[in-house]
A and B are shown apart, each in its own frame.
Chain A
Amino acid sequence: MIETWAGFGGGADARGVRPAGSAGKAGERAGSRVLVVDDDPSILDTVTSILTSEGFQVMAAAGGQEALALLHSWHPTLVLLDMRMPIMDGWAVARAMQESGSKVPIIVMTAAESAKRWADEIGAAGHLAKPFGLDELLECVEEHSGPRRRN
């Protein structure tokens, strides 16, 4: 199951809402391609609709294998990765990315206490401890998708 929110296409909930921020910022954000990976459909929907509405290009993956497929076909500039997922978990996704030589930065998203430690373990660029607020999410994505885009 792969749901895409390229622009406002798939996200009916974001329809009619203008991307926020200045035109310049929106332009910068439009160049960022954020891949959201989480097995919880509500979180997946919420995060993708927020980021889409804020002007990022977003794709959603409900599991590790879908995430890897999108990584190769869609070339995201940032991955928001849930760690505890059935079948293929966050560690396996990070390992597969490393093995394929991917340099795409990862943000670990987890409800576990050990968010920071797990982020260090897989060499992630940062972490978002659930439950996170809107500002935390946007700041984190803003910070880590920016430099990458300029490279």
Chain B
Amino acid sequence: MQSEWQFIVLFVVIAPLLAVAPILINWLLGPKKPNPIKQQTYECGVETVGDAWVQFKVQYYIYALVFVIFDIEAVFLFPIAAAYGQLGLFAIGATVVFIVLLADGLLYAWGRGVLEWI
């Protein structure tokens, strides 16, 4: 049905407006007197040292990689789960093998010590 998605499309257009409206009202009502001291980056009262855009810890990246395994798994599992009523035992068995193969990825990452926070 096209009308179900019509709702979502209209919503995607309207939803940001709900958020932009309060910012605009704030911009209209609030004072506008910027000065350099006021605009300093907050760093517990001391003067800001350097830039905030630094290199980040690789650990975060590795967790994101492990997440990708499961995200892809989910994309495949959702249709299977939704069609569950029409699937036979053989298809469920195949799904189980699929999940076990992906769980193997998690075990591999675990065994390699990737999941340790250093």
Task: Note whether A and B form a binding pair.
Answer: no
